[in-house]
Amino acid sequence: MAVRVRMAPSPTGLLHIGNVRTALFNWLYARHEGGEFRLRIENTDTSREVAEAVDHIQESLRWLGLDWDGPHTFQLDRMDDCRRVAAQLVADGKAYEDEGAIRFRMPDEGSTGWDDVVRGRVEIPNETIEDLVLVRSDGRPTYNFASPLEDVWDGITHVIRGEDHISNTPKQINIIRATGAELPIYAHVPNVAGADGKKLSKRHGAVTVAEFRRDGYLPEALLNFLALLGWAPDGETTIMDRDELVRRFELARVSPSPAQFDYAKLDWLNGMYLRGLSPQELGHRLVIWLGENGYDWDAELVARTAPLVQEKISRLAEFPDFAGFFFGDVEPDVTDLDGGGPMLAATEEALGSLEPFDAATIESALRGKADELGLKARQAFQPIRVAITGSKVSPGLFESIELLGRETTLSRIRAARDAAG
């Protein structure tokens, strides 16, 4: 039988990165095996909030490149089917009515076990499993009833999900067996934890796909990073594109140990991906990110700045602070200009009629002025950098001056001289 897996999020808000990592493992396994990856929304109502959450879920998956097979489905659409199965279980003596609800008769003796692809053999004593409510008194089926039935109806061959579902598995196995259906294979992957070892949450930093997108991470870098949370092909390879991830992914190599989300490592990896882009592609990504985040900056100028920032930033969101001086006025800190008056004056003189006005000629002229004044490079160039960028840290100074142009550069040099007195 061909592999068929699923992602079954609850539409309660923005998509958590831990759920995405588990979805990625499902997607990678399906694509590696030539199977199918299904998207099922585990909802019990059709409110506007649910509709918005479903849109967010789909948009997040599309942004990451996690395509699903067939139309997405809703748990709500199978409620009548669940109620019919519950009534049949009551008729068969496998369930009973209890204060308007329907409960499943769990076995009292022995144990319920399964061979978990990630964790090995798992056995749960049946005496620890309570009789499960299948249908509430208001007629709504419970998660632990609807979810395994849908896995059966959808032909799911492998249920790959987080370890927090281990306690649900024996309940769901007994329900599936009671209906006479075939069990799927189970694989419970480790939770994603923060640096403190606790389950990843907002106290650690960004936790939703929307937040990581807003913070300027590339989808391919985030995907690569998430794939390595609990899985590794060889313990050495770090950077892998989608095709390589699909080719090398093996479910059996997923570790049962908790996976730690290292934000610093993600920044490093994202920086590597940024530097691997062509300057043209980086410019394109920057223009898109700026537009999504409310910056109405000239797209052509953004593209021209891309080569200047490519080696300096690790996330697209760092671009406005790092290169914003190209797109608006600056207000340098006067204390950073202290002692820079002579060099600023010399710069104004050197650049006034310099031709050609390009980075190489600008550098040669300004180094000559620094030598005349007996200044080391840092002493000479810091006041110029602060004057034209408003910061001690910026893209290449001479390239920045060329891109800003003579008029803007000289205007800022004069303003800095006046401010410094």
Give the length of the chain: 421
- Distance CA(112)–CA(123), nearest Å, equals 6
Under 8 Å between Cβ of 34 and 3: yes
Cβ-in-10-Å burial (0-12, 13-18, 19+) of 155 comes to: middle
Which residues, listed in sequence order, are joined to residue 112 by a DSSP beta bridge?
A: 124
Q: Quick one: three-class SS letters along 184-211?
A: CEEEEECCEECCCCCECCHHHCCCEHHH
DSSP three-state, residue 315: coil
**Token pair listed for 301:** 């100028």
Measured at the CA of 287, the angle between CA 396 and CA 224, to 5 degrees, comes to 90
* Adjacent-strand bridge partners of 39: 7
Distance CA 94, CA 230 (A): 39
Residue 198 annotated in active site: no
Task: Tell me if residue 238 falls in helix, strand or coil.
Answer: coil
Asked if 216 and 206 count as a contact pair (C-beta separation under 8 A), the reply is no
The residue from 198, 202, 312, 376 that is catalytic is 202
Residue 361: is it exposed, middle or buried by C-beta count within 10 angstroms (0-12/13-18/19+)? middle
272 phi/psi in degrees, rounded to 5: -65, -40
Q: Hey, what are 387's tokens?
A: 């004057």
- 145, 90 contact by CB (below 8 A): no
Distance, in Å, from the CA atom of 202 to the CA atom of 223, rounded to the nearest integer, reads 20
Burial code (b: 16+ CB inside 10 Å, e: under 16) for 210-230 equals bebbebbbbbbbbbbbbbbbb
* Active-site residue set: 202
